[in-house]
Structure 1
Amino acid sequence: MIYLDSGATTLQKPKQVFRAVQKAMESCANPGRSGHKPAREAERVVYSCREEAAELFGLDRPERVVFTQNATHSLNLAIKSLLHEGGHAVITGYEHNSVVRPLEAMKGQGVTYTAVSSCLFDPEDMARQMERAITEETRCMIVCHASNVFGSIAPLDELDRICLRHGLPMIVDASQSAGTLPLSVKKYPSAAFFCMPGHKGLYGPQGTGLLICCKDNPLYTIMEGGTGSRSLEVTQPDFLPDALESGTLNVPGIAGLWEGLKFIKQQGEKEILRWEQELIGTLVQQLKGHPSLRVFAGGENQGGVLSVVFPIPSEEAAEKLAGQGICVRAGLHCAPLAHRTAGTLPDGTVRLSVSAFNTKREMLRAADAMAKMLTN
């Protein structure tokens, strides 16, 4: 089997991630609730992972790292914190439904948004169009750091400068960039929140996510309950991370995520990105000679995701590849806005997404399987 669906979740992970999950299930109880050894061990694991994430993303205060279920959870918290009183948001034309659907759901609260169409793999055009969309009513900018459909990388440096000029906070959807594209609170002073899953480029288990609160932002809870703190009070604590972490945390998942974060630190984000771009480059070289294929290649402006349009429906192409042991994803990838912007509706694309664990030999075998499919 050749796994090329890491844009959905990384299946191949460091072995220590699996070991950490099992160890936590055997030795960790409920963090922040009791004083016995298993509870203390759970607290140690949770706080150590929080510290590791804070270091990776340039935070001086680990309590600003909030554990969530996934990136969708993180994005809902971020968007509703900044827009719960209404206002206008500027978003890229490549956003996931995890951004679009919360904004749509908030229209009854006076929220509006502009989805900015820009040329694919053209960061200058994106920055220019995003600034033009800002109005007097704009309250924030939401940016997909790397597209989950095309791998295109947003010009975060320039968008940060634009936000600073206009006094706007920026929400960064780092679902496809965390772990490969360096992301630091210190580098992006306009950033209010970084939102990310634990189970993709950070190599943690499913059911884990992070909300990086870059500064003292307004916080809007979407769930209240037990936190192990201020239990005599009937209202939710107003301090981080307790304000946004109600109920029992996913300690085994967090234990695995801690190991994933350490793996990123050891390998280096830039090195992982270099390898993933090399793998995508190998695929592009092998596929670009086929006139019946539409290959969305962006060179240095592309991460570890490649979209291809076949002369047959994308679902049919993916099914045929699965029959040859090639695991890809087909369709709209929960991002119809991106397909509308790039002109790939209604059928979408076949998406090939890589990780640090893929090899060039796998890319050659996958390309060969696609070539054979075209001739059969």
Structure 2
Amino acid sequence: MIYLDNAATTLVKPRAVGEAVRRALVSAAGYARGGYEAASRAGNLVYDCREQAAALFGLSDPARVIFTLNATHALNLAIHALVRPGAKIAVSGFEHNAVMRPLALRKIRPAVLKTPLWEPETAVQSVKDALADGAEIFILNHVSNVFGYALPLDEIAPLLTAAGVPLILDASQSAGVVPLDVSRYPCLAAVCMPGHKALYGPMGTGVLLALDERLASRPLMAGGTGSRSEEMAQPDFLPDAQESGTPNVPGLAGLAAGIRFVRSVGPENILAHERRLAQETARALEGNGLLEVFSNPAQTGVLSVRFRDIPAESAAEQLARQGIAVRAGLHCAPLAHRTAGTEQTGTVRLSFGFYSTAGQAEQAAKAFKLVKKL
């Protein structure tokens, strides 16, 4: 199988990740609940993961690294803590349902910025317009999970900082690929990401970088934390305020190994590798008259294509029979498809990882030529 669905989950991971998970399974227990060796080991493994994440993202205080089940969980925590009823919210035109549905549950209809594909200047102007219209908080998808388009954070963040408007950043497709130093962006209130994508950790892990103090005072869940057990009130300090119950210690041990790998290789080098494969594949596919290829030199390793007269799901099934693993449909991001004009058809998405090869990309491009209208 040629696996090209890394935007969903990186399947091929560093060997150290699996080894770390296995060691934790048989040696760590009782996290923050005892003074014996196995409990201490669990605590050390989790704290190591906090330190690794803090170092990767330029965060000075590891206590602000909150562990979650996934990016969706992290986004729900951030939205619950930071978005008040009736607030004027602005979102990009590429938001995932992990943002749009929590807002819908709160009966909030956000203003959707004009963020057409490959037009960063339009996105910046739309942010200016939203600020002038009174937007109180922005929730932005850093990199589209459908098209690999990165919003111009370096241009947008200073505008929000100057206006004193906070930003929740969905880094689901950028964490581990696009270098991100949170200290450079004072407007950041929260950064949300999964562990199982470009951080090369196990599924069932996620991270919330809690940069706004309100994240300590408005937890989504309450329960046992191993601290202040005599009080009925949830602890009001991080990370305890947002971490109730026993964490996924084996998963976090694996995530620490994954982040350590990303730091050793460098997100900028991972990005260069994935981008090169995406562009080579795009060039190969653009010669196929049956396809519309959504490509730009600035995109990450996520590439969407659309067959002109073949349903995306049918194309993906035919590719799967040839041993090519891709994803088809709306990718849980109908807003992104509305922005790009693909809402009625969806796309076939190829997404590369650090372990993807040029040979695999070439084989995938050849397989596309064999897809037929049924």
- Do the aligned partners of 1:82 and 1:139 also contact (CA within 8 Å) in 2? no
Q: In structure 2, what is the Cα distance between the partners aligned to 1:216 and 1:69?
A: 22
Structure 2 letter corresponding to 1:209: G
Hey, what's the Cα distance between the residues in 2 that align with 1:374 and 1:367?
14
Structure 2: give runs of 5+ residues left out of the alignment: none
Name the structure 2 match of 1:229.
227
Query: Which residue of the other structure, out of 186, 190, 208, is the alignment partner of 2:205?
Result: 208
2:319 counterpart (309, 318, 321): 321
- The residue number in structure 1 matching 2:50 is 50
> What is the DSSP-based 3-state SS (H/G/I as helix, E as strand, rest coil) of the residue aligned with 1:94?
coil
> Partner residue of 2:127?
130
Q: What pairs with 1:148-167 in structure 2 (closer than 5 Å)? A: 148-167=145-164
| 1:373 counterpart (368, 371, 374) | 371
2:354 — aligned with what?
Answer: 356
Corresponding position of 1:254: 252
Structure 1 residues 101, 375: closer, same or farther in 2, change over 3 A?
A: closer
Local SS of the residue matching 1:281: helix
- Number of equivalences: 372
Report the residue type matching 1:19 in the other structure: E
Structure 1 residue 123: Cα displacement: 1.1
Q: Structure 1 stretches of 5 or more lacking a match?
A: none
Contact 1:305 1:351 (C-alpha < 8 Å) held by counterparts: yes
Instruction: Give the Cα separation in 1 of the matches to 2:85 and 2:304.
Output: 38
SS of the equivalent of 2:293 reads: strand
User: What amino acid sits opposite 1:23 in the alignment?
Assistant: R
Q: Which segment drifts farther, 115-124 or 52-61?
A: 115-124
Measure the CA separation in 2 of the matches of 1:92 and 1:85: 20
- 2:138 aligned residue (129, 136, 141): 141
| Deviation by residue 1:268-297 (Cα, 9 ceiling, x = unmatched) | 010000000000011011011112200000
2:287 to 259, 271, 289: 289
C-alpha distance in structure 1 between counterparts of 2:194 and 2:98, whole Å: 12
**Cα distance, 1:94 vs structure 2:** 0.4
1:63 CA drift (Å): 0.2
Q: Are the aligned partners of 1:192 and 1:217 in contact in 2 as well (CA < 8 Å)?
A: no
In 2, the alpha carbon distance for the partners of 1:30 and 1:100 equals 37
Separation of aligned partners in 1, 2:62 and 2:128: 32
Q: For 1:1-376, list aligned pairs within 5 A.
A: 1-107=1-107, 111-134=108-131, 137-218=134-215, 219-300=217-298, 302-310=299-307, 311-374=309-372
Instruction: Kindly state the Cα deviation for residue 321 of structure 1 after the two structures are TM-superposed.
Output: 0.1
**In the TM superposition, what whole-angstrom CA distance separates every residue of 1:162-206 from its partner, at most 9, and x where no partner exists?**
101221001110000000101111111111111000000000000
Which secondary structure state, in structure 1, belongs to the residue aligned with residue 47 of structure 2? Answer: helix
3-state SS of 1:138 partner: coil
Which range is displaced more, 76-85 or 206-215?
76-85
CA contact (8 A) 2:192 2:207 kept: yes
Question: Structure 2 CA distance, aligned partners of 1:17 and 1:164?
Answer: 37
Q: Distance in 2 between matches of 1:40 and 1:267?
A: 30
Q: TM-score scaled to structure 2, two decimals? A: 0.97
- Contact kept in structure 2, 1:74 and 1:209, CA below 8 Å: yes
Query: TM (normalized to structure 1)?
Result: 0.97
CA deviation map 1:333-363 (0-9, x unaligned): 0000000111001220000001000000000
SS at match of 2:110: strand
Check the 8 A contact 2:91/2:113 in 1, yes or no.
yes
Task: Decide whether the 8 Å contact of 1:168 with 1:190 is kept in 2.
Answer: yes
Q: Which amino acid aligns with 1:351?
A: R
Residues 220-229 or 121-130, more deviating: 121-130
Residues 69-92 of structure 1, C-alpha deviations (whole Å, 9 max, x = no match): 000010011112111343111100
> Does the 8 Å CA contact 1:174/1:196 hold for their aligned counterparts?
yes
> What is the root-mean-square deviation of aligned Cα atoms in Å?
1.3
Contact kept in structure 2, 1:87 and 1:112, CA below 8 Å: no
State how far apart, in whole Å, the 2-side matches of 1:372 and 1:136 are. 50
Q: Distance in 1 between the 2:239 and 2:31 partners?
A: 13
Distance (Å, rounded) in 2 between the aligned partners of 1:298 and 1:79: 32
User: Deviations along 1:10-41, whole A, 9 cap, x unmatched?
Assistant: 00000110111111000000211000000000
Q: Is the 8 A contact 1:92 1:130 kept in 2?
A: no
Deviation by residue 1:224-258 (Cα, 9 ceiling, x = unmatched) = 00000000000100100000000000000000000
> C-alpha separation between the residues in 2 aligned to 1:20 and 1:340?
41
Deviation per residue, 1:54-107 (Å, 9 max, x gap):
111111110000000000010011112111343111100000000100111112
Question: Structure 1 residue 372: deviation in Å?
Answer: 2.2
Q: Which amino acid aligns with 1:312?
A: I
Partner of 1:330, secondary structure, is: strand
Aligned partners of 2:59, 2:212: CA distance in 1, in Å? 9
